[in-house]
Every structure is written in structure tokens, then in C-alpha cells.
Amino acid sequence: MPVASPDPNLGIVLEVMPALVVILITAALCGRLAQLVMQPRVLGEMVAGVLLGPTLFGQLFPEAQAALFPQEVRPVLYVLSTIGLTLYMFLVGAGLDHGSGTPGEIRRASALAVSGILPSLLLGFGTGLLLYDLLSRPDVGPLQFGLFLGGALSLTAFPMLARILYERGLEHSPLGRLTLLAASFDDALAWCLLAVLSAMHLGSGPAGALPTLALTAVFAVVMLKVVAPLLRPLGRSVAATGRLGPTGMYVVILVPLAAGWLTDWIGVYSVFGGFFAGLAMPRNAAFRQALHGRMMEIVSTLLLPTFFTFSGLNTHLGGIAGGALLAAFGLILLAGFCGKYFGCALAMRWMGFGRRESYAVGALMNSRGLMILIFINIGLAQGMITDELFAMLVLVAVITTAAALPLYKIALPGRLENFTKVAEPGELVKTNPQ
């Protein structure tokens, strides 16, 4: 045991540092194991957070877990997680190529996005009404509870989807562009819904939420119509030099943090500020590449594993061991899977794509990954959901993320992927009708 320090700040550092070391080692190991079984690294990092929580580490070694993650350390992990999420959503927003796409692609992506959101939202809402008495907090009404569950199930893990398409060289194919556009629409709508639900909950009803909603709308307009034009010279500078200099780095860190602080002050979560700050960034490809190259590694390597662990410390899987709760979890998982997977696959078929392409896209769109974890952590922090529902939705995140790539490969094996790089709707069916 280290000698107690007379400096309380040093004492906190001596407690936080070992926690971060264990978090990063566990995340690295689990991430590597995930890659060995052909899964994305982020899935292993998500599982690492759950393993460090009360379900495994706390169950097997309760004293060690209590010593590693004492109560005074958790606020520090929360602050690091919030900064990480704000910057991550900033990078997600900056990476959305919302200005691209032909009118035909945008129409098809909109149809695919609706087919991914609407069935999931309706099935989740209906499931929420059925399970309201079992899983809801008493101060949350059935409408808000059902909409929250539906919104969580309607999310798509846009960053993970993009990574899979990039790794397979499909990001510029008709299939890849369509899927990325649709996923970005899905997530943007889901975040808007969460902003409304947060404002309603914190404002004690629709009337009390009106000032928060109005301020959020003003904030969004200012970011997109005032801040975005002011940042365009930065994009031109990066395009000319090919790099983000020191001044540019100050800007791209200060803007999302300030935006996150403002949205926290308004009454919605800081990730909304980060996301809109990303949307306000210059849209040229050179800027996006430079930004991600400078920031994504530190955010994904240090800050996101901290968030996964903070989530894991709140995940009590033992609390859903009863028969009724297990049945409720199965119903939630079924609603989320069917709404997204079959909804998107059927929409793709309706648009003229082949059966294999359609179910491959359904598999990718069904992955929820990190996005649902952010969504439900906001709900838990703001008192909109119970610990039991939180644990169930963590499992939904892990299962749907783990299933995405295997289901994709079953639908579209590697030998058929080259067709999708040049095919428009229906061409893959004509070339290989398997």
C-alpha cells in the first residue's frame, strides 16, 4: 500500500492511474481477442467494460474491484468518459458526408433510413408499453418510456458500419454509399428524439420542455449557419497544407468542448453539442482525413475504453436473472433485431437490390455498437431508465454488434463482394442469382 499523501489531489491521482492502467490493459486484450475471432476491436472493448463491472470482476474479486474503482475514482472516470463521448460524437458528426450523394442516392438512403427507424421505433414503443409496469421508473410516463426504448433500438452503429465497409473496400460502391447515408440519417433522427425526450424529462413534461427545445433549436441553427461559415477558412488551410497545425488543433478541440458545455447548460447532454460541432466543421475530404488522423486514435484508445468501463460499472447482469426479466430481455432483443434487420432488408428488396445484398445491408444496419451505449448512458444519468433496462440494452448492444459481421458474410461472401463495387440495384441478382 502506498504511503498516504498529504496532498489530496495527489491521492486522487494515485487512485485514478492504476484504474486507467487496468482499463487499458483489459481493453487491449479483449480488443485483440475480438479481432482474432473476426470481430471489430470495439466489441472486445465493450465486453471489457462489462467484465470489469460487478457481473464478473466484482463477483469474483469484490474487494479488489472496490479497491480499484472506489467511489472517489468514479467521478473522474465520468468526466473522462464525458469528454471522450463529446469528442467522439464530434468526430462522428465531422465524418458525416451529408453534402454528398446524387438525388437518387439520397432518396434511396432516406427510404432505407425510414425502413430502419420506423419498424424499430414502433416495435420498441409497443414493447415498452407491454413492459412498462415491469421495467419503468415510476416518474417516467408510458409514452416517454416507450419512445426511449424505441429510439434506442432504432440506432445504427454508424462508425462501426463505416469501418467494415472501408476494410472491405466498399465505401465508394453503390451499396456502401447507400448504407452510410442511411445510417447517418438513422442516427441523426435518433439523437433528435433523445434530445426531445431529455428536454421533456428534465422539463417535467412537454410544456416544461419548451424552453429547452427552443434553446436547442437556436443552438443548432447558430452552429450550422454562423459557426460553420467561420470555420471554412480552416478547411481551406488544411486542404492547402495537408495538415492540421497547432492553431487548428486548438480550434477543433475548443469548439466541441465549448459546444458540449453549452448543451449541458441548456439541459441536454454534451454529446449533442459535440455532434453539432462536428456537423459545423469544414466538409472537404482533406480536412476530415487530417482531423480523424490527429484525434481518433487518442479518443478511441484512452477515452472510449474509460467510457466502456464506466458503463460496465453500472451494468448488473445478475439483476436480470429472473424468469420475467429474462423474458423481457428476449422480447426487447427480438423487437430490435426484427425491426432493423428485416425492415432494412425488405426495403432494399423493394428498391430492386438482390436478396444477398439486401440481407447484408440488414445485418450491417442492425449493429448498434457504441451508439446505443451512449444513448442509454444518457438515459440512465438523467433518470429515464432503470438499472435493469440499462443492463438489457447493454446486452442488446453486444449481441447485435457481434452478429453484424457474421450475418453480413453469410449473406454476402467474399467471392460476391466485387459485384457490389460496380452494381446498381438489381445487377447483382442478374449476375449471380444465388
Provide the residue-wise pLDDT of the chain in tens; the chain has 434 residues. Answer: 455 556 777 778 888 899 999 999 999 999 999 889 888 888 888 899 989 988 888 888 889 988 999 888 889 998 998 898 889 888 878 876 655 556 667 788 888 888 888 999 999 999 999 999 988 888 888 988 999 999 889 888 776 777 677 666 666 677 777 887 788 777 777 777 777 777 777 665 555 567 777 888 899 899 989 999 999 999 899 888 888 888 889 999 999 999 999 988 887 778 888 888 988 999 888 888 888 888 888 888 888 899 889 888 888 887 677 788 899 999 999 999 999 999 999 988 888 888 888 898 898 888 887 788 888 888 888 888 898 899 999 999 889 888 888 888 888 886 666 555 444 555 444 434 33
How far are the Cα atoms of 199, 360, 364 from residue 411, in angstroms, in the given order? 41, 5, 11
Rg (CA), the chain: 22
Is the alpha carbon torsion for 277, 269, 215, 193 positive or negative?
Answer: positive
We report the CATH number of the domain holding residue 405 as 1.20.1530.20
SS3 269: coil
Asked if residue 65 belongs to a domain, the reply is no
Provide the pLDDT for residue 422: 44
* C-alpha span between 257 and 366 (Å, rounded): 30
E-assigned strand segments in 16-160:
none
Closest CA to 400 of 90, 54, 80, 153: 153
Q: What crossing angle do the helices spanning 74-95 and 369-381 adopt, rounded to 10°?
A: 130
Show Cβ contacts of residue 150 under 8 Å, excluding neighbours closer than 6 positions: 120, 121, 122, 123, 124, 125, 128
Domain count, the chain: 1
Asked if residue 42 belongs to a domain, the reply is no
Asked if 365 and 156 count as a contact pair (C-beta separation under 8 A), the reply is yes
SS3 283: coil
| Cell digits of residue 63 | 474487494
Mapping DSSP onto H, E and C, the string for 9-38 reads HHHHHHHHHHHHHHHHHHHHHHHHHHHHCC
| Cell digits of residue 230 | 467561420
Asked if 391 and 317 count as a contact pair (C-beta separation under 8 A), the reply is yes
> Maximum CA pair distance of the chain?
75
Asked if residue 346 belongs to a domain, the reply is yes
| Cell digits of residue 138 | 415510476
Q: What crossing angle do the helices spanning 174-202 and 206-222 adopt, rounded to 10°?
A: 130
Asked if residue 194 belongs to a domain, the reply is yes
Show Cβ contacts of residue 410 under 8 Å, excluding neighbours closer than 6 positions: 363
Q: Which domain holds residue 227?
A: 72-431
Q: Which residue has the cell 442492425?
A: 366
The phi, psi pair for 383, rounded to 5°, reads 75, 25
Asked if residue 27 belongs to a domain, the reply is no
Closest CA to 116 of 413, 355, 366, 357: 366
* C-alpha span between 23 and 310 (Å, rounded): 10
304 burial (CB, 10 Å; 0-12 / 13-18 / 19+) is buried
* C-alpha span between 420 and 360 (Å, rounded): 11
Asked if residue 119 belongs to a domain, the reply is yes
| Cell digits of residue 90 | 464530434
The phi, psi pair for 309, rounded to 5°, reads -70, -40
Asked if residue 5 belongs to a domain, the reply is no
232 burial (CB, 10 Å; 0-12 / 13-18 / 19+) is middle
HSE-CB at 415 with a 13 A cutoff on CA atoms is: 4
pTM over 0.85: no
Asked if residue 18 belongs to a domain, the reply is no
